[in-house]
Structure 1
Amino acid sequence: MPSSHADFSYVDDPAPGHGSTAPRSAFRSDAPALSLGGSWRFLLSPAVDAAPDGIERDDFDDGGWTDIPVPGHWQLHGHGSPAYTNVRYPFPVNPPQVPSDNPTGDHRLLFDLPDDWPDEPAVLRFDGIDSCGRIWLNGVELGVTKGSRLPAEFDVGPLLRPRGNLLAVRVHQWSAGSYLEDQDMWWLSGIFRDVTLLARPAGGVRDFTVDADYDHLTARGTLRLDADSGVRITVPELGITDLPAGRSAEIADVAPWSAEEPRLYEGEVHTDTERVPVRVGFRTVTVEDGQLKVNGRRIVFRGVNRHEFHPDSGRVVPREFAVADIELMKRHNVNAVRTSHYPPDSAFLDLCDTYGLWVIDESDVETHGFSELDWRGNPSDDPRWADAYLDRMRRMVERDKNHPSIVMWSLGNEAGTGRNLAAAAEWTHRRDPTRPLHYEGDTDCSYTDVHSRMYAGHDEVDRIGQGVEGHPRLRELPFILCEFGHAMGNGPGGLVEYRDLFERHPRCQGGFVWEWIDHGITRRDTRGGAHFAYGGDFGEPLHDGNFVIDGLVHPDRTPSPALAEFSKVFEPVRITAADGALRVTNHYDVLSTAHLRFHWVLEEEGTEVAHGVVTVPTVEAGDSTDVPLPELPPTGAESWLTVRAALAADTAWAPAGHVVSWGQTPVTRAAPVPPAAGATLDTTGTALRLGPGVFDPLTGRLTALGGLPVEGPRLDLWRAPTDNDRGSGDPEETRWRAAGLHRSQHQLLGTERLGDTLVVRTRVAPPGLGFGMRADYHWSGDAHRLRLRLEVEPDGTWPCTLPRLGLRMALPGGLGTAEWFGRGPGEAYADSRQAARIGRFTRTVDALQTPYVRPQENGNRVDLRWLRLTSADGAGLRVDGEPAFAFTARRWTSEHLDAATHTTGLAPGDTVVLNLDLAQNGLGSASCGPGVLPPYRLHPARASLTLTFTPTGSTDAQETPAR
């Protein structure tokens, strides 16, 4: 029998729930605990009123139900579908009411107590239920919990029985709490964090707060335990035994905790009946002199925003994946995490303490959808929601207060402003004066302690750093970018310019790239092919497409090229050449360079010819030193010296030898490419021959090269737009398509012979418009090589930048291996190239591609001196630049790449499509941030590109490229 509507009034109630005990610190003790995770019985009803009565009763028959894993989201186990929105609520906005068509998931679990379970108080702990849970144990209602990513505990000791305990949980997809949880992520429902039964011994540890302050002037630590009378703390390594609650102990010469040196002292908080392991980290956070300081030192956040996500299980993130996240972060010079936009699983914060990351812990509050209504009705200023805001802040602070990694609390994200946020801030300042308070939406910092902005452009950050932006209070506070460098698809560009601002202005203390991981959900087609789904792929009527795909790592945690760029830009030690010496600059917040060893290698045209050790004296944080260049053997071809700083010993996150930073300097410059000249233009039958090249005598187009069939090269102005090209505001893509650059046509103006040079004159222009680009191809050659000088000149008035400027040609598909001397090994673009070093690299054509979840321009390599494309038998083509060029090689055209919406839409063709570019437009961050900076915008202008083509090996077996 379905339930009556009156039973569900709590769903639309803006109050935080009822029945749970007071929030407390998350800890595990030596008291018995029973995990209730595993397979539960489950039934999904389409609406609140359709849910059955009596699920809490022992005699209820759930035989027709199915099984579901807990923790888990029901949409990822065949019940309903995920849905993604960024800002808009996926239901009508009528707070606090939610739709009556409200999917409701009933969960039931039968469990027995262990034989040795004590007869004493116990609590049932739920670490996360999305969005609202009503809970019964053995037929007795325990209460209702809201605040999806926050714990709730219920007293259950008297209700337990040795065998056949029945736990029933009714979960509603929508509740009044959903109005506070509009957090730019998949809407996923269920019991998605641990469920645990915890014995609570009489006279045990109810709750505690460990304050461990550090005085950087004296190196003394002060330890204090706040807890009930009778609770004590013991830290053997510090000589502290049975320090009672309410008393302080001073310790000389303690080692402080920091993200770079996460020193933790093992101890116990205990009573006569319970012992709780604790790890004490001494550190003090202050705002002084307009700067955020930890242990008296200015810190710089080289951070990321991190949603909890796994492509198969959603916000159920197994511990090994959380560990993998942190290890990847540390290996790529990430030093901070903002827990966007809710408190994470508390186990993640344990890892941050252990491995060392600065953390901004954020409350489970976002009401972004009200921005669509000019913030009318926003709960942040509605007194009906006052208890919910304070409840969410209290539960976070009390749960997480003992983590030294947390250096700031955050009130939430994109929730406008109002009295409820101010009240939560006032409570937090009283409860924990040891940490500053963050909230970007408090634009005048009337109740917060740091000036925070998201996606501020470089010019604005510069003005803030100079103290000429904002009112006087803002000019006195530290400034951070809580979000910047939107890592959606290919990009972001412009990170190094942000870094320079953080180093130039002491008040500008870094920021957090948006974001860590692409939220793509694994999906398989009928043929078993897998791809990652995004908004709209599940039939949602309202969605925000692939805006959820915006991370530094792909959904499977494969690093994106952007992560390599982040790592290089924010490397903590910078190695440069200066006045004939090597300059080593230490940009760590705390660490010296004593934990690093420096090695050099000399490469001649990318091949190692010598190596050695650089002796670098210890450099303290913030200092630099110059050391002599090593003695190097003479070289003939272009040579580069690369110096790397690597870990001297194993750490928790990387083995000895892991490269933390590197720098390069040229030693011998490149010799110019000898001109290819002397070959005679010769007409034979229907072909025009010049050295190893064969041309169509009517069009002047190259058709073969030393027996290798080719198509092109022709001027190419188009690239498959990136997510940043498609960005907000005035997107580059819109201007490019309005200018018709995606359908440019090639017009032959004529061919002529100038001595032994073939000149082909063309005009490339979009249909229906009056501007274009004149392109003249000057071909010359010798017996073995063909030289092309491309001269381009704008014709008419251009309305936009160019996506790219270069040549496109088609080669036989068997040329599947690329080797080059230039920047690599990864892709690089005008404003995102710091991670690419000069060297010799080899990749298959397939491996050159970056599998962005939504296909787009990718795989560009820059500053090439030469490139070889070869087949398995060594046949192929070499291209030399005068002096350099960029290339992409792929098995589909830019047009195919542009049309595909998922990687499964890219079918390899029979040819290798080769782009040889003079330049591409920069990447920027306009998907949600500033566009391409002026130096990296590719404007139409007169330009030239000179390349020499040399066929190599046998080409007898090569196929003809498709036209």
Structure 2
Amino acid sequence: MIPIQPIWQNPGIFQINREPARSHYVPFAGATQAKRGRRGESPFYQTLNGSWKFQYRESVTLVKEAFYEEGFDAGAWDDLIVPSCWQTNGYDQMHYTNVNYPFPVDPPHVPDRNPAGLYIRDFNIAAGWEGKSKYAVFEGVNSCFYLWVNGSFVGYSQGSRVPAEFDLSPYLRSGKNRMAVLVLKWCDGSYLEDQDLWRYSGIFRDVYLLARDQKHVRDAEVRQKLSEGLDRAEAEIVLDVTGALDVRAELFDADGQVVGTGNVTLNGGKGSILLEVEQPRLWSAESPYLYQLYLYAGEEVLRFPVGFRRIEITDGVFRVNGAAVKLKGVNRHDSHPVLGQTVSLNHMIADLLLMKRHNVNAIRASHYPNDPRFLELCDHYGFYVVDEADLESHGMGNAGPWESGILHRLTADPAWLGAYLDRAERMVERDKNRACVVMWSLGNESGYGINHIAMAEWIKQRDPSRPVHYESAAPGYKGHPNIDCLDVESRMYATVDYIEEYARNADNKKPMFLCEYSHAMGNGPGDLKDYWDVIYRYPKLMGGCVWEWCDHGIAATTADGRPYYAYGGDFGDMPHDGNFCVDGLVSPDRKPHAGLLELKQVIAPVRFEAEDLAAGLIRVTNGYDFRDLSHVSLYWKVEEEGELLAQGSIQELNVGPQTDAIITLPYAQTPETEGELVLTLSCRLREETDWAEPGYELAFGQFRIAATNVAASSDVPVVRKKMSAMETNGQLVIEGFDFEYAFDLSSGTFVSISKNGVPLLAEPARFAIWRAPTDNDMHIRKKWQEEGYDRAETKVYLCEWNQPSPERAEIRVSYALAGYSKPPVLRGTAEWTVYGDGEIRLGTDVEVREELPYLPRFGLRWAMPENSDEVEYFGYGPHESYVDKRQSVKLGRYLLTVNDMYVPYIMPQEHGSRYGTEWAIVSNEQGIGLRFASSEPFSFNASHFTPEDLTIATHEPELSPRKETIVHLDYRMSGVGSNSCGPELAEKYRLGEKRFRFDLSILPVFKED
């Protein structure tokens, strides 16, 4: 083996010769260059990104040759693009695990079979770099690495997601040079990097060289202070220089005007420049105003965006610039479906633009500092960021009984103190100048003890301007009782009742932050409105971050070339947590799920309430913290079952921040109608922004208006045609003027329906209670299956019929639904009535066995023949909705196809239902089909897959669409919730009734007649 010490298993050694951490910047040769901010234009910057020679070894013990020596021949090695992850390039094992360590838990030891990546890069040094100090910066290497230059050992570093900088001046020469890097998959630091993610390895972030003046600004910190009235700002620029140096500072506003200058002469060490700004423009996520600070020192110009803002907690309320602010956030990993944890700048921008368009204002950098350029973008676009240390040891808790306190073993061990502090220091020093960072986090799910306390105390001493957050000190963990060093109470997946109880308790002095809530896995989350109704109500509740932003599926193809997204276990990885990595608001290719649309509406900055609908009075609440509504316009329309009756707009809303006002809409002149009207309000951008176009909808509201001409409605007598009913071979055959139906008396259901000879039923109709489990059903699913819900069949006890008149036939069925080995889930009676015009009416009374868990659904399953692909309905749309996931849909009349109703969740599951449907028509493209309606709104779904198809499939390519259309007409569908990780589904969203009645009307139609 090569002569290196196995310090990767010593928690007391986490670096050799690494430079002290500093703020993130690149030096430029002039102010014009610095203003553009394109680092590649700087003569003092040289990228080492690109093609490296690479060889993968299954274990570091197999690295025998001194590959770092100058004369080593690596010509036969592979070529690998840096930055990248080994695993996404075919090396090593793709592996997803959430909590469990993927190696034996024996800290600080890691397996002897420790995969290694050997990297070699030849590069030239520009002629202009003679006499300069030269540094190499590695923005991210997972998990630890050794560095050599021109055959000489330079240093070692661990801590995967924070920069490592080395002084290469003693090792570099003019012209051609060689850099060699040995990266190990595991080190003792891996015990502190047990985050819920794919386990990637390699040089996965940027690598570059910097040429610095011999005497230069090593670090710069902008310490800001705002006056009590926020009308005066001080910026103290604290400098750390390497020698005698004159430094000049200039501060520009966004218009390019100088608002402050200063200079200082230093003889090494630290000093400062104080700048003052009168009437400063303040930075917030809503108005991310940035000044630009330029530091001139020797040949170098450094630029730092400066956002003046004050973060504080007063009276238990989290405030920005004096205003109580709600963090409407998401948790975000660095994630790409092809590149893994290597994320390009454009990909970061795409994420942020999508968040901005969906009213997200906060990001928790879960669970490590994100790429430094990401925070620059957050400054620019406007996001509040919870910057989190690269620290999670969740797997310790699963290594033994939690009651033993093993979860806290590392954080309670002084031998690991240095490693803990190192991760806090490197995060804070890198990101201290970022306006977007509003809280520091000590990491995630790592127990709690003296090492965390030391981290918190160091951070508070180093940067008292921001609160410190850490969730795992919450009650319920067997942690250290000292939590005074933490500034917020943080919870994961607390119930709505819990957070309200916390807010109402006057003894609770800290604001509560839901660092994770509303687990967005699969078809979900279904509880967003409930949380935000309470969060808006109590100032002490500062908001939270949905888990999480994106599905972490890996782009893959089947053997026959069909694309899909893979998840844990698909690569033979063990241990794994299956599709638990597929739990985001957007798909891996960043297509929004309905859950993101739901979040957008629930946290929208403009909300509407009906004040007096008859008079057109609407209360508008401005949820912005710092801006009025002059940048938006309000459009309104009144419809009757999809037909536009009136419309208008208000081009400017005069509503101040955190206030409300009543506006009058002139729809009183709407013509009198017999039906109910629907008023829709749409709040849209007036002008283009850097994240959305003019007319983009930020929020909407809808209200039902009672009919204005009730007296005009009259009961027109329905003239029913005559029909015949005859029992033949166990079937009741009913014939009318243009229809023929067959009802099987033994199975108690219709087996044939046709109108004008066109069949409209592909298989016998039946009652159904099973839905393909959603990811959020993962815990209740077992109970459902234990009781036979998934295999429930119909048992008919009694079926009798009569024809009381020539225009009507009646059928009465007594039935039960039960699965093998279990008593009936429910018993019911169904009354079917067939009229001479072809209408079928169903009324069924149901009794569910008392001790059973709530039902997934109850309704009628109706299979329609091939080509029944057109769907028209009046209800909520255009996308799927459920009883607890329906804030983002609008009541209206929709025309779409069955394929349009399909939602391609990575793990197939229940999808596409429409809550609150009033009527629906499923037909062929010529309009021949069935119209379904009920006296009360019902849940409706049309699909080319049965619930059984979706239940069995584990990946989308396993699904084969049926030619038939499977229609579900449900009395009720239980909500979707967020119980894959969050609390149980709220009782009000469960189909938990033990007795209920459902009625339905089914009528053959030719829509074009």
Which of 887, 891, 896 lines up with 1:838 in the alignment? Answer: 891
Instruction: Tell me which residue corresponds to 2:268.
Output: none
Q: Retained in 1: the 8 A contact 2:631–2:652?
A: no
Which of 751, 762, 769 lines up with 1:717 in the alignment? Answer: 769
Q: Retained in 2: the 8 A contact 1:417–1:442?
A: yes
Instruction: Letter of the 2:889 partner, please give it.
Output: A
- Paired with 1:679 and 1:384, the residues of 2 have a C-alpha distance of 91
Instruction: Letter of the 1:72 partner, please give it.
Output: S
Which of 657, 660, 675 lines up with 1:621 in the alignment? Answer: 657
The answer to whether structure 1 residue 945 and structure 2 residue 998 are counterparts is yes
Distance verdict in 2 for CA 1:774–1:47, change over 3 Å: same
Following superposition of structure 1 onto structure 2, how do residues 803-842 of structure 1 map, counting pairs within 5 Å? 803-842=856-895
Q: Retained in 2: the 8 A contact 1:11–1:132?
A: no
Instruction: Tell me which residue corresponds to 2:223.
Output: 211
Following superposition of structure 1 onto structure 2, how do residues 853-864 of structure 1 map, counting pairs within 5 Å? 853-864=906-917
SS at match of 1:724: helix
SS at match of 1:157: coil
Instruction: Tell me which residue corresponds to 1:83.
Output: 95
Distance verdict in 2 for CA 1:573–1:690, change over 3 Å: farther
Distance verdict in 2 for CA 1:753–1:322, change over 3 Å: same
SS at match of 2:25: coil
Distance verdict in 2 for CA 1:823–1:674, change over 3 Å: farther
The answer to whether structure 1 residue 151 and structure 2 residue 163 are counterparts is yes
Distance verdict in 2 for CA 1:860–1:141, change over 3 Å: same
What is the Cα deviation at residue 216 of structure 1? 5.7
Q: Retained in 2: the 8 A contact 1:150–1:343?
A: yes
Instruction: Tell me which residue corresponds to 1:523.
Output: 556
- Paired with 1:884 and 1:127, the residues of 2 have a C-alpha distance of 56
Which of 22, 25, 31 lines up with 1:24 in the alignment? Answer: 22
Instruction: Tell me which residue corresponds to 1:680.
Output: 723
- Paired with 2:1007 and 2:223, the residues of 1 have a C-alpha distance of 74
Following superposition of structure 1 onto structure 2, how do residues 358-437 of structure 1 map, counting pairs within 5 Å? 358-372=384-398, 373=400, 374=402, 375-376=405-406, 378-437=409-468
- Paired with 1:743 and 1:336, the residues of 2 have a C-alpha distance of 45
Q: Deviations over 1:631-667 (max 9, x none)?
A: 2422444421111111111111111111111111112
The answer to whether structure 1 residue 875 and structure 2 residue 928 are counterparts is yes
Aligned-CA RMSD value: 2.1
Give the % identical residues. 38
Instruction: Letter of the 2:893 partner, please give it.
Output: R
Q: Retained in 2: the 8 A contact 1:487–1:562?
A: yes
Distance verdict in 2 for CA 1:795–1:858, change over 3 Å: closer
- Paired with 2:111 and 2:22, the residues of 1 have a C-alpha distance of 33
Which of 419, 441, 446 lines up with 2:472 in the alignment? Answer: 441
Instruction: Tell me which residue corresponds to 1:746.
Output: 794
Instruction: Letter of the 2:760 partner, please give it.
Output: P
Instruction: Please identify, of 239-248 and 18-27, the stretch whose mean Cα deviation from structure 2 is larger.
Output: 239-248
- Paired with 2:716 and 2:141, the residues of 1 have a C-alpha distance of 66
The answer to whether structure 1 residue 552 and structure 2 residue 564 are counterparts is no
What is the Cα deviation at residue 97 of structure 1? 0.5
The answer to whether structure 1 residue 453 and structure 2 residue 453 are counterparts is no
The answer to whether structure 1 residue 897 and structure 2 residue 950 are counterparts is yes
Instruction: Letter of the 2:28 partner, please give it.
Output: D
SS at match of 1:407: strand
Instruction: Tell me which residue corresponds to 1:231.
Output: 247
What is the Cα deviation at residue 681 of structure 1? 4.1
Q: Retained in 2: the 8 A contact 1:775–1:790?
A: no
Q: Which residues of structure 1 form unaligned runs of 5+?
A: 956-963
Distance verdict in 2 for CA 1:795–1:458, change over 3 Å: closer
Q: Deviations over 1:700-746 (max 9, x none)?
A: 432113122302431110001111111xxxx2111111110101111
Q: Retained in 1: the 8 A contact 2:21–2:425?
A: yes
Instruction: Tell me which residue corresponds to 2:372.
Output: 346
Distance verdict in 2 for CA 1:100–1:625, change over 3 Å: same
Which of 112, 137, 151 lines up with 1:139 in the alignment? Answer: 151
Q: Retained in 2: the 8 A contact 1:204–1:273?
A: no
What is the Cα deviation at residue 132 of structure 1? 0.6
Distance verdict in 2 for CA 1:685–1:753, change over 3 Å: closer
- Paired with 2:702 and 2:178, the residues of 1 have a C-alpha distance of 66
Instruction: Tell me which residue corresponds to 2:623.
Output: 587
SS at match of 2:170: helix
- Paired with 2:580 and 2:849, the residues of 1 have a C-alpha distance of 37
What is the Cα deviation at residue 786 of structure 1? 1.6
- Paired with 2:733 and 2:78, the residues of 1 have a C-alpha distance of 74
The answer to whether structure 1 residue 249 and structure 2 residue 275 are counterparts is yes
Instruction: Tell me which residue corresponds to 2:639.
Output: 603
Q: Retained in 2: the 8 A contact 1:225–1:232?
A: no
- Paired with 2:812 and 2:177, the residues of 1 have a C-alpha distance of 86
Distance verdict in 2 for CA 1:673–1:74, change over 3 Å: farther
Instruction: Tell me which residue corresponds to 1:102.
Output: 114
Instruction: Please identify, of 865-874 and 581-590, the stretch whose mean Cα deviation from structure 2 is larger.
Output: 865-874
Q: Deviations over 1:211-245 (max 9, x none)?
A: 23333624222222111463332123352123546
- Paired with 1:673 and 1:274, the residues of 2 have a C-alpha distance of 87
Q: Deviations over 1:28-54 (max 9, x none)?
A: 221521111111111111112102321
Instruction: Please identify, of 346-355 and 697-706, the stretch whose mean Cα deviation from structure 2 is larger.
Output: 697-706
Q: Deviations over 1:737-771 (max 9, x none)?
A: 11101011112221322522332412222223233
What is the Cα deviation at residue 276 of structure 1? 1.3
Instruction: Please identify, of 225-234 and 914-923, the stretch whose mean Cα deviation from structure 2 is larger.
Output: 225-234
Instruction: Tell me which residue corresponds to 1:757.
Output: 809
**Matched positions, count:** 944
What is the Cα deviation at residue 516 of structure 1? 0.5
- Paired with 1:754 and 1:503, the residues of 2 have a C-alpha distance of 59
- Paired with 1:618 and 1:221, the residues of 2 have a C-alpha distance of 29
- Paired with 2:554 and 2:926, the residues of 1 have a C-alpha distance of 41
- Paired with 1:655 and 1:310, the residues of 2 have a C-alpha distance of 26
Which of 734, 742, 746 lines up with 1:695 in the alignment? Answer: 742
Instruction: Letter of the 1:767 partner, please give it.
Output: Y
Which of 635, 647, 656 lines up with 2:685 in the alignment? Answer: 647
What is the Cα deviation at residue 275 of structure 1? 0.5
Instruction: Letter of the 1:626 partner, please give it.
Output: I
Instruction: Please identify, of 936-945 and 229-238, the stretch whose mean Cα deviation from structure 2 is larger.
Output: 229-238
Instruction: Tell me which residue corresponds to 1:302.
Output: 328
What is the Cα deviation at residue 784 of structure 1? 4.1
Instruction: Please identify, of 244-253 and 256-265, the stretch whose mean Cα deviation from structure 2 is larger.
Output: 244-253
Instruction: Tell me which residue corresponds to 2:576.
Output: 543
- Paired with 1:263 and 1:234, the residues of 2 have a C-alpha distance of 17
Which of 665, 670, 680 lines up with 1:633 in the alignment? Answer: 670
Q: Which residues of structure 2 form unaligned runs of 5+?
A: 30-43, 265-270, 475-480
Which of 824, 833, 838 lines up with 1:771 in the alignment? Answer: 824
Q: Given the two structures, how large is their TM-score scaled by the length of structure 2?
A: 0.91
Instruction: Letter of the 2:14 partner, please give it.
Output: P
Q: Retained in 2: the 8 A contact 1:215–1:295?
A: no
SS at match of 2:883: coil
Which of 636, 661, 664 lines up with 2:699 in the alignment? Answer: 661
- Paired with 2:596 and 2:716, the residues of 1 have a C-alpha distance of 35
Q: Deviations over 1:71-105 (max 9, x none)?
A: 11111111112111111101001110100011111
Q: Deviations over 1:378-428 (max 9, x none)?
A: 221111111111111111101101110101101101111111111111111
Distance verdict in 2 for CA 1:676–1:55, change over 3 Å: farther
Q: Deviations over 1:317-375 (max 9, x none)?
A: 11111111111111111110000000000111011101101110000000111112334
Instruction: Tell me which residue corresponds to 1:283.
Output: 309
Which of 818, 842, 852 lines up with 1:799 in the alignment? Answer: 852
Instruction: Tell me which residue corresponds to 1:961.
Output: none
Q: Given the two structures, how large is their TM-score scaled by the length of structure 1?
A: 0.95
Distance verdict in 2 for CA 1:251–1:938, change over 3 Å: same
Q: Retained in 1: the 8 A contact 2:52–2:121?
A: yes
- Paired with 1:230 and 1:616, the residues of 2 have a C-alpha distance of 52
- Paired with 1:447 and 1:126, the residues of 2 have a C-alpha distance of 32
Instruction: Tell me which residue corresponds to 1:3.
Output: 2
Instruction: Letter of the 1:696 partner, please give it.
Output: F
